[in-house]
Structure 1
Amino acid sequence: MSSIKRIVLGLYSLTRLVTATSEDKPPCAQGSYTPYKYLGCFEDSRDSRSLSYRSDLGFDSVTVESCTAVCKANGYHYAGLEYYGECYCGTDIASSQVSDSQCTYPCNGDKSQTCGGSNLLSVYADPTIMQNVAEPKDYVSLGCWTDGNGGRALGFNQADNVNGSELTTKMCLQACGSRGFGYAGTEYSQECYCGTQLDDNSER
C-alpha cells in the first residue's frame, strides 16, 4: 500500500518582489524596524537550503539581532540561524518545521541565544508580513496534492491553533489566512497545514 498522503490545498496570492544581491546591504539599525518574531526550528540541508540567501556576517559574532537586521535590510521576510553562527535569509521557507528541542546550538555572538543546530535552522519572521492577512473567501482551491513524499507539502502544522476534532476547511483557511500564509491544506480529516510555498516533491 502506498504511504503517500494527499492534502487538499487553497491558495491566496501573497507576492513581493525581492532582488538578490551578491553582498549584504548594511544592516538596519536596531529600533528602526519591528523586531522579527521566532517561528521555530526547521530542517536544512547543504544540498537544498531552506532559506536561499547566505549572509556574509562574521561567523564568530552572529546574534539573532544581527542576522535579522541584515535580512530586513536586504528585503527578506525570514531569517535563520544555524550551526553557532551561520545566518540565512529568504522570502520562503523550503523545509518542514521540527520540534524546538532539536535546535540547541548557542550563538557565537550571544551564548544565551539559540542558533539552530547541524542542518537545523532557528527561524525568525518579519511580523509586518502578517499584516497582509487573508479571509477564507480569498483562497481558491488547487485540488488534491501528495504529502509526505520526501517532505511535507506545507511546513507549518496548525495543531496548536485549531481543534482537530472539530476541523473544517473554513477553520483551516482562517488559521492560515490570519497568519499571512499563502497556502492552506487539510489532511486526515483533522489536520491543518499552512505554507508560503509547496514542497517541490508534492504532486497533484
Structure 2
Amino acid sequence: MGFPAMRALAISALALQGACLAIDRDAAPTIEARASWTYLGCYTDNVSGRALPNGEQVPGGTNAMANELCQSTCQADGFTLAGTEYAGECWCGNAIGNGGALSTNPSSLCTMTCKGNAAETCGGPNGLSVYQYGSSSPPTSGTGKRGLAYNNNNPTANAEYANLFAGYSSVSWGYDWGYPSYNLNPSFEFVPMLWGLPSGSDPGWTAAVQTVGTKNILGFNEPDLTYSGSSNILPANAAAGYATYMEPFAGTVKIGMPNVLWNNVGSSSGGNYDSAVWTQYFLGNCTGCHFDFAAIHYYQDCDPADGQSGAAWFQGNVTNAYNTLHLPIWITEFQCYGTDAQQVAFLQTVLPWLDAQSYVARYAYFGVFPDYLVNSAGTGLSDIGMAYATT
C-alpha cells in the first residue's frame, strides 16, 4: 500500500481485529532532551529554495519576533533548527537544505534588528540567523536502522513531510512505494521500489536503479494480498517478474524479496493460503533469483483484546520471519492500532529491541503522513513521530 486509505481496505480484506485509531492531539509533545540553543551563524536564504523549509507564526505575530520566541516555537513543533529572517520571520527545520550555506560575509546578510527585541539581530532579506538545539554543527546523515515510508501527497507535492526527520541520527533512509524520490533530503538514502509488474520494458525503473547513490532496491508491494491497494500477483508471475526486472541488478545493488504481510493468516493471491505459504511458492518458482534481504509488513492491535502483549506479538512475528527465510529482515511497513499513547508505548518497547537484533537490518513505521508520524497540520512531528525519531 502507499496511502492511509489503502491500509483501511487491507484491514477489511484481511479481517484483522484492529482497533480504531484514536488521535489525542491534546497530549503534550515529547521533545527530545537536548542541551540548549546554539548559534550556528548566518546562512544564505532565498524564496525559491529555503534553507529551512517551515515558516512558523509566533505568538504576537511578526512585530513580536525575537530569536528566543522563534526558538521556543520551533521546539514546541518538534524541530531542532530555528532561524529568524527579515526582522519578523521565523523558519524551522531539522537540517539545512536547498543550498543554504554559511555566509562568509554575515555583516551584509544578517543585519536587521528583531521587531520584538531591538537588542537582537533577526537575519536580513537574504540572510537567516540560524540556531540549533543541542549541537554546535548542523545535522548530518542518519546512521540508524529507522526509515521513512512517505509519499508526495502534501501541499508542495514533494518529500516535505519526510524531510521533517532530517537531523535525527536514528533515521537514515526512506522510500515512497515508487522510484521518484520527490527531493528527499540527501541526508537520507532513497530506496526505489518496483511496486508491481510492469506491462513491458521499464526504462524508468532501470534508470532509477542505476542512479548514483542507489544501494538497495525493493520489489512488489504486498503481492500476496488481493485488496485493491495491493499489487496482487500470483507467486509464479511474481517470480517471473523478479527474474526479468530485479535479477539483472544482482551484484550491483542489494535486492529485497517481495514486501509481504507476514502476519496474514488468511487467504492470499492465488489461493486459500497465507502469506508465508505464498512466499514459499514464490521461492519455489524463483530458483535462479538472488536475494540479499527479506521485506515484511506487520499490522495488528497495540493491545490485543485477549490481553496479550502487542509488542510481544510483533517481536515473535519478526523472529519467525527470520527463522523461516534466513535472511536479514527489513520491516518496510509496521504499525500497531491504538491511541497515540498506546502507539508511543509500543514504539518505546519495540524500537530498542529492533535496534538490538543483528538480523534486523532496517525498519519503517507507518507512515509519514498527518495524524500519523506528522502532526495534523503537517508542520512538524506528532507525538508518535517524536517517539519514533528519539526513542
Q: TM-score, normalised by structure 1?
A: 0.47
Q: TM-score, normalised by structure 2?
A: 0.26
Name the structure where helix makes up a greater proportion of residues: 2
Higher RCO (CA 8 Å, separation ≥ 6 residues): 1
Name the structure where strand makes up a greater proportion of residues: 1
